[in-house]
Amino acid sequence: MRVLAAMSGGVDSAVAAARAVDAGHAVTGVHLALSRSPESHRAGARGCCTVEDAHDARRAADVLGIPFYVWDLAERFEHDVIEEFVAAYSAGRTPNPCVRCNERIKFAAVLDRALALGFDAVVTGHHAQLSGAVLRRSVDPDKDQSYVLGTLRPEQLMHAIFPLGDTTKTEVRAEAARRGLAVADKPDSHDICFIADGDTGRWLRDRLGPRPGPVVDAVTGERVGEHDGAFAFTIGQRRGLRLGRPAPDGRPRYVLDISPVTATVTVGPAQALDVRDLVADVAVWPHEGPVACAAQVRAHGRAVPATAEAVGDELYIRLGEPVRGTAPGQAVVLYDGDRVLGGGHVRRFGRFGAGPRDAGRPGG
């Protein structure tokens, strides 16, 4: 096959491209330039968006002896990922930009262009197993990335190749060293690639400007503090609330709800964060009736027992045990063992305790 290897400049995508070459594919490497004004060198350990990362990717392609190009997707990325990220925070949701990037950039804009140019598939260094359109977790539970791929549609997955799903990260690094790839010991990337210092709150404040409002206690209804932008908060957040007074029970308080219209941040006790029911939009759900499964709502979260059922264009999910700190906008991915059954994006939820949102139930 003619395949396009997306090469971030990191170790995973370099080894994935190498394995595609070994598999006998005609591989072309592409580095996706996602930033409009790339920094020339990495400030932190993010590792995908700088000129230095493009250079690392080019060096890996040189070692593999494959053609290499840089594709400028900065405009698409700005529009489809960054602007959406800002809009979601402004609306009180908690987006996952990596999920979004996979949905809209890597397995959409890049894949579509690759197919148009005559390639058969896109190869990435994601840690997940794929056969046909069946996605499974990586054998390395610490590095498994099936969650950030879990909302991809079958027609997207049909043209994807993830060569690393059967290998642990440690083995990938060892293999990179064996292959003479200089990125073998490059630090893992983490956090959000376009927020250089990892301070999402400040990044949003710089972008959106201050929008002050009250912090209100859900239990007492009292105004317990002020903030200069509700977008800097995430549901479930505990640190950085800077509340003047302790809660009446002396227990820590968490962000329970964000109301962007009134700029109100509601805080309360941890148990009020426990979510029992989720309603998601349907990204992928090729199943009829209620399905017993396990639900995961965060990239590094645990999957909990659940029952999921599609009703209209929504997916109703009842969790067998409470999940703490779920926020609208997050992806929910449903598994049967290590197999991804489908998923969507959380629209609303219901809590065990008296929550501000009511998920409702099918038929009632």
Which residues are part of the catalytic machinery? 101, 193
> Looking at 31, 127, 159, 298, which residue binds another protein (CB under 8 A)?
31
User: DSSP readout, 196-239?
Assistant: TTS-HHHHHHHHH--B-EEEEETTT--EEEEESBGGG--TT--T
How remote is the C-alpha of 76 from its chain's centroid? 17
Question: CA–CA separation, 66 vs 261, rounded Å?
Answer: 52
Question: Dihedral angle at the C-alpha atoms of 217, 321, 98, 120, nearest 10 degrees?
Answer: -160
Q: Which is nearer to another protein, 33 or 192 (CB)?
A: 33
Minimum distance of another protein from residue 283's CB (angstroms): 21
Q: Which is nearer to another protein, 54 or 157 (CB)?
A: 54
Minimum distance of another protein from residue 188's CB (angstroms): 23
Interacting span for another protein (CB under 8 A) from 109-117, 180-188, 299-307, 309-317: 109-117
> Looking at 28, 145, 237, 330, which residue binds another protein (CB under 8 A)?
28
Q: Which is nearer to another protein, 68 or 335 (CB)?
A: 68
Minimum distance of another protein from residue 282's CB (angstroms): 25
Q: Which is nearer to another protein, 33 or 164 (CB)?
A: 33
Q: Which is nearer to another protein, 44 or 69 (CB)?
A: 69
CA-to-CA dists, residue 356 to 213, 264, 318, 321, 349, angstroms: 18, 13, 18, 19, 9
Interacting span for another protein (CB under 8 A) from 28-36, 162-170, 217-225, 280-288: 28-36
User: DSSP readout, 43-109?
Assistant: SSS--SSSHHHHHHHHHHHHHHT--EEEEE-HHHHIIIIIHHHHHHHHTT----HHHHHIIIIIIII
How many chain residues touch another protein (CB under 8 A)?
19
Q: Bridge-partner residues for 315, per DSSP? A: 280, 310
Q: Which is nearer to another protein, 63 or 70 (CB)?
A: 70
Q: Which strands make up the sheet holding 121-123, listed edge to edge?
A: 68-72, 26-33, 2-6, 121-123, 160-161
Question: CA–CA separation, 275 vs 162, rounded Å?
Answer: 33
Q: Is 48 in the site for another protein (CB under 8 A)?
A: no
> Looking at 6, 33, 176, 218, which residue binds another protein (CB under 8 A)?
33
Minimum distance of another protein from residue 4's CB (angstroms): 10
Q: Is 122 in the site for another protein (CB under 8 A)?
A: no
Q: Is 146 in the site for another protein (CB under 8 A)?
A: no
Question: CA–CA separation, 311 vs 305, rounded Å?
Answer: 20
Who's near 62: CB < 8 A, 6+ residues apart?
68
Q: Is 109 in the site for another protein (CB under 8 A)?
A: yes
Q: Any idea what DSSP says for residue 195? A: S
Q: Which is nearer to another protein, 58 or 205 (CB)?
A: 58
Question: CA–CA separation, 226 vs 243, rounded Å?
Answer: 8
User: Contact 173/11 with Cβ under 8 angstroms?
Assistant: yes
Helix (H) / strand (E) containing 20: helix 11-22
> Looking at 45, 117, 292, 311, which residue binds another protein (CB under 8 A)?
117
Minimum distance of another protein from residue 101's CB (angstroms): 17
Minimum distance of another protein from residue 39's CB (angstroms): 11
Alpha helices per DSSP H over 168-324: 169-178, 200-208
> Looking at 112, 142, 197, 222, which residue binds another protein (CB under 8 A)?
112
Q: Which tokens hold the place of 310?
A: 């599609």
Interacting span for another protein (CB under 8 A) from 113-121, 143-151, 159-167, 264-272: 113-121
Q: Bridge-partner residues for 147, per DSSP? A: none
Between residue 58 and residue 87, which ones bind another protein under the rule CB under 8 A?
58, 67, 69-72, 74
Residues that bind another protein (CB under 8 A): 28, 31, 33, 38, 51, 54, 58, 67, 69-72, 74, 109, 112-113, 116-118
